[in-house]
Amino acid sequence: MSDTRTRNHVEDRDARTAERAEEERSEEHEEEHVCPECGGTLVSDESHGETVCADCGLVVDEDSIDRGPEWRAFDSAERDRKSRVGAPTTNLMHDKGLSTNIGWQNKDAYGNALSSRQREQMQRLRTWNERFRTRDSKERNLKQALGEIDRMASALGLPENVRETASVIYRRALSEDLLPGRSIEGVATAALYAAARQAGTPRSLDEIERVSRVDKMELTRTYRYVVRELKLEVEPADPEQYVPRFASDLGLSDEAERQARQLLRNAKHAAIHSGKSPVGLAAAAVYAAALLTNEKVTQSQVSEVANVSEVTIRNRYKELLEAEDAGGVLA
């Protein structure tokens, strides 16, 4: 019984000691954030390495340690590029880039070549690491689709934001179980086509079909299904969105590009663009603008760049010039 009382007494004493120590720490913490002169709030001026009072301006501490990075960044892209704590997460990888990779170089940390036994061991580790990265069929599906999206986007010269958007669209389609009865390549191509339209950098169906592993009929059918089921907001393609790419590929001047845009605006005002292919209208506008600015471009060159027939270009550019004459002098 006496041992029990002694043990309880010791525990109570330790508890009181810990409580007093906690109170002292909290009081010291409060004193650190209070000005010793006026009792005002202290703030840290990291640019000068000082701690000053916000009320009276007293410098309480100086030459403090800067625990931030030694570099400066002015936007998120520059911050990601300069950071040395690992790559940011991305939707372009099935695991969002959070898993590890074992390099293909058969060298150790000092750059020395591995022995044959070590190379065999590393190859086995790579195999198992790859198997663990894709644990189920959905992850294997996602890995294949995202690789397909990246391949097609690279072939079409689409920017990073379009690839990210296409990856998000495909992930949504996979999570909402839209893939049964449809090919992985078809849904991936439809997601990329929709993402390009949403980002204002559209590609024609013929361009998409040229780099895809599905035909145009399957692509259009899958695209309509994905847009309808996911309720994506995709505006009709604007012919003006194709003009900069066509003008750049043909080496036209800024004046010709401006004239092409003006021709298309006049066509919209005259309502002759309704029911016509935006790619054909854009190609015809670029060709007509080149004629108006005395720049040498042939119909076959425009046809090759825009992937439309020369007949379409001839028909559309005459309609554009007629609408221009009816609308008055170029702005």
| 326 labeled binding residue | no
Angle separating helix axes 160-175 and 184-198, nearest 10 degrees:
130
User: Rounded distance, CA 133 to CA 226, Å?
Assistant: 27
Instruction: Say if residue 159 is in the same domain as residue 226.
Output: yes
End-to-end CA distance of the chain: 104
User: Rounded distance, CA 310 to CA 233, Å?
Assistant: 33
| Residue 84: strand, helix, or coil | coil
Distances (CA, A) of 67 to 42, 61, 64, 243, 246: 19, 16, 9, 49, 50
Q: Does 69 fall in a domain?
A: no
Structural domain for 317, as ranges: 239-329
Q: Does 109 fall in a domain?
A: no
Q: What is the pTM of this model?
A: 0.64
**Which tokens in the block code for residue 58?**
């007293």
Instruction: Say if residue 215 is in the same domain as residue 144.
Output: yes
Question: Structurally, how many domains does the chain consist of?
Answer: 2
Give the pLDDT of the chain (331 residues) as one tens digit per residue: 455 555 555 466 666 666 666 665 555 444 557 888 888 888 887 767 788 888 888 888 877 776 667 777 888 778 777 776 666 677 777 777 677 777 778 888 788 888 898 889 989 988 887 777 777 788 888 889 999 999 999 999 999 999 999 999 999 999 999 998 899 999 999 999 999 999 988 898 888 999 999 999 999 999 999 999 999 988 888 888 899 999 999 998 999 999 999 888 888 888 777 778 888 899 999 999 998 899 888 989 999 988 888 898 888 888 888 877 765 544 4
Instruction: Say if residue 154 is in the same domain as residue 226.
Output: yes
Q: Does 66 fall in a domain?
A: no
Q: What is the DSSP string of 89-141?
A: P-TTSTTTT-S----S--B-TTSPBPPHHHHHHHHHHHHHHHHHHS-SHHHHH
Q: Which of 230, 255, 286 is the last residue of a domain?
A: 230
- Based on its alpha-carbon atoms, the radius of gyration of the chain, rounded to whole angstroms, reads 32
* Helical spans, DSSP H, in 176-215: 184-198, 205-211
CATH number at residue 259: 1.10.472.10
| 38 labeled binding residue | yes
Instruction: Say if residue 210 is in the same domain as residue 185.
Output: yes
Q: Does 289 fall in a domain?
A: yes
Instruction: Say if residue 247 is in the same domain as residue 311.
Output: yes
Give the E-state strand segments of 28-114 in sequence order: 42-45, 50-53, 59-61
Q: Does 141 fall in a domain?
A: yes
Instruction: Say if residue 157 is in the same domain as residue 218.
Output: yes
Instruction: Say if residue 198 is in the same domain as residue 277.
Output: no
Please name which of 249, 246, 248, 283 lies closest in space to residue 263, comparing C-alpha atoms: 283
Instruction: Say if residue 151 is in the same domain as residue 219.
Output: yes
Instruction: Say if residue 219 is in the same domain as residue 286.
Output: no
Instruction: Say if residue 250 is in the same domain as residue 268.
Output: yes
Q: Does 226 fall in a domain?
A: yes
Q: Which of 169, 197, 230 is the last residue of a domain?
A: 230
Instruction: Say if residue 187 is in the same domain as residue 269.
Output: no
For residue 38, the Cα-to-chain-centroid distance in whole angstroms is: 51
Q: Does 285 fall in a domain?
A: yes
Q: Does 71 fall in a domain?
A: no
Q: Which of 208, 230, 252 is the last residue of a domain?
A: 230
| Residue 325: strand, helix, or coil | helix
Instruction: Say if residue 153 is in the same domain as residue 194.
Output: yes
